[in-house]
């Protein structure tokens, strides 16, 4: 029997089909409303699933309508009886998105439940960043004779554009405007188009790949597999290219070292911040849809973080401390 947790062959994933009619109506309204606004389908699905789980918990607590949802029941979804946090900020944001859309459907009921949602602070792990030595070693690796021209172009695009791996994999001949020296991309994550400069170093690498190495298959994708039938390169293959580059450069080989494609995006944002590039420009370059998406990168902006350091001259410390 379906229980809302395990996949059942007769039902879609999630708790939606176990909900009371009014709860289902809220999610249905949200889906239609956000689809009309152009929100990405995967985002709508994720927010709907989280909210269905939330409403199913309210249902288990005895609520059969939005009017019957209590503050205690809402808080019990996020915090256990012994005070431990069960659901984090991302869950709250997803649930909030559905109820905010619901304000246009049943404003009093949805506003009331929005007021019950707890104030949760979003926490992020510190992200490993690329050092300047690592960047130099990666660029040296790209020039190695054993490193294919395709891989070199991919690596330099990651270093100099900040594009996501999935967006690099989806690049076509039409994505490159050689005359205006621009790269045009419809981002897969946000579906928002972004236009970024094509640097000479990345542009030359792409040209070398096209002129010297890429087979003429009629496929519009820039990057293809190395073997027949020369299919379009998958996003996961971009991560494999990065792993090969790191091995060739002799960096990030310890367990737990981060060597995915996102580290290059982080490196570009941090470098731009350190060089005083205005945050709106960085947000536009990275194709972020929300200004607060830049927050994780601010934590690695050591140049400006040092400006916030406080003097310790007024604190009584032994002279030996300063001599170390």
> Do residues 165 and 261 make contact, with C-beta atoms less than 8 angstroms apart?
yes
Taking residues 107-132, report their average pLDDT.
85
Question: Do 254 and 109 have their domain in common?
Answer: no
Number of other residues whose CB lies within 10 A of the CB of residue 210: 16
Strand partners, 85: 79
Number of other residues whose CB lies within 10 A of the CB of residue 320: 7
Would residue 249 count as lying in a domain?
yes
For residue 270, the model assigns a pLDDT of 82
pLDDT at 124 over 90: no
Would residue 10 count as lying in a domain?
no
Domain count, the chain: 2
Between CA 151 and CA 93 the distance in angstroms is: 38
Q: What is the CATH number of the domain that holds 243?
A: 1.10.443.10
Would residue 304 count as lying in a domain?
no
Pairing of strands 176-177, 193-197: unpaired
Confidence of residue 299 (pLDDT cuts 50, 70, 90): low
Question: Do 268 and 140 have their domain in common?
Answer: yes
Question: Do 283 and 136 have their domain in common?
Answer: yes
Per DSSP, 198 falls in state -
For residue 232, the model assigns a pLDDT of 94
Question: Do 40 and 160 have their domain in common?
Answer: no
Cα 108 to Cα 66, 105, 181, 215, distances in angstroms: 10, 9, 52, 62
Question: Do 240 and 177 have their domain in common?
Answer: yes
Would residue 75 count as lying in a domain?
yes
Name the burial class of residue 118, with classes exposed (0-12), middle (13-18) and buried (19+) by CB atoms within 10 angstroms of its CB: middle
Taking residues 137-159, report their average pLDDT.
94
Question: Do 215 and 242 have their domain in common?
Answer: yes
Smallest Cα–Cα separation from 113: which of 79, 72, 62?
72
Question: Do 196 and 276 have their domain in common?
Answer: yes
What are the two backbone dihedrals, phi and then psi, of residue 6, each rounded to the nearest 5 degrees?
Answer: -105, 145
**For the chain, how far is it from start to end, CA to CA, in angstroms?**
68
Angle, alpha carbons 108-110-111 (nearest 5°): 65
Question: Do 111 and 258 have their domain in common?
Answer: no
Token reading at 269: 């944002």
Percent of the chain with pLDDT over 70: 90
Q: Which residues of 58-92 are buried (b: 16+ CB within 10 A; e: fewer)?
A: bbeeebeebeebeeebbebbbeeeeeeeebebebb
Taking residues 31-49, report their average pLDDT.
89
Would residue 321 count as lying in a domain?
no
Would residue 297 count as lying in a domain?
no
The alpha carbon torsion through 160, 166, 172, 177 (nearest 10 deg) reads -30
Continuous H helices in the chain? 21-37, 41-60, 71-78, 89-102, 107-116, 132-142, 149-161, 165-169, 200-212, 235-249, 262-274, 279-286, 295-298, 302-305, 319-323
Model confidence pTM above 0.85: no
Would residue 282 count as lying in a domain?
yes
> Do residues 285 and 162 make contact, with C-beta atoms less than 8 angstroms apart?
yes
Question: Do 179 and 273 have their domain in common?
Answer: yes
Handedness of CA 184, 31, 67, 69 (dihedral sign): negative
Question: Do 22 and 98 have their domain in common?
Answer: yes
Which residues span the domain enclosing 154?
Answer: 132-288
pLDDT at 12 over 70: no
Between CA 156 and CA 145 the distance in angstroms is: 16
Question: Do 284 and 150 have their domain in common?
Answer: yes
For residue 114, the model assigns a pLDDT of 95
Query: What are the pLDDT digits (tens) for 224-262?
Result: 998 888 999 998 999 999 999 999 999 999 888 888 888
Question: Do 276 and 177 have their domain in common?
Answer: yes
Token reading at 267: 């490196």
Would residue 22 count as lying in a domain?
yes
| Cis peptide bond prior to 229, omega within 30° of 0 | yes
Between CA 58 and CA 77 the distance in angstroms is: 8
Angle, alpha carbons 168-173-141 (nearest 5°): 45
For residue 5, the model assigns a pLDDT of 57
């Amino acid at each position: 029997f379906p229980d809302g947790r395990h996949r059942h062959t007769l039902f879609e994933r999630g708790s939606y089909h176990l909900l009371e009619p009014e709860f289902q109506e809220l999610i249905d309204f949200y889906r239609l409303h956000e689809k009309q606004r152009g929100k990405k389908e995967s985002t709508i699905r994720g927010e709907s699933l989280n909210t269905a789980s939330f409403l199913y918990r309210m249902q288990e607590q005895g609520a059969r309508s939005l009017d019957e949802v209590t503050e205690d029941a809402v808080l019990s979804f996020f915090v256990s009886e012994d005070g431990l946090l069960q659901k984090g900020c991302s869950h709250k944001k997803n649930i909030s998105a559905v109820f905010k859309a619901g304000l246009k459907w049943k404003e009093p009921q949805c506003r009331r439940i929005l007021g019950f949602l707890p104030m949760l602070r979003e926490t992020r792990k510190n992200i490993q960043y690329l050092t300047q030595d690592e960047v130099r070693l990666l660029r040296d690796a790209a020039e190695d004779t054993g490193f294919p021209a395709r891989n070199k172009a991919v690596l330099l695009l990651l270093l100099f554009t900040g594009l996501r791996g999935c967006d690099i994999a989806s690049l076509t001949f039409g994505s490159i405007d050689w005359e205006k020296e621009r790269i045009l991309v419809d981002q897969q994550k946000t579906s928002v188009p972004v236009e970024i400069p094509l640097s000479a170093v990345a542009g030359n690498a792409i040209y070398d790949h096209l002129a010297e190495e890429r087979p003429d298959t009629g496929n519009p994708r820039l990057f293809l597999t190395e073997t027949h039938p020369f299919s379009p390169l998958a996003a996961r293959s971009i991560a494999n290219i990065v792993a090969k580059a790191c091995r060739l450069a002799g960096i990030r080989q310890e367990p737990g070292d981060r060597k995915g494609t996102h580290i290059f995006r982080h490196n570009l944002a941090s470098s731009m911040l350190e060089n005083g590039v205005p945050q709106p420009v960085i947000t536009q370059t990275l194709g972020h849809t929300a200004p607060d998406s830049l927050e994780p990168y601010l934590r690695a902006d050591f140049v400006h973080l040092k400006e916030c350091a406080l003097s310790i001259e007024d604190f009584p410390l032994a002279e030996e401390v300063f001599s170390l």
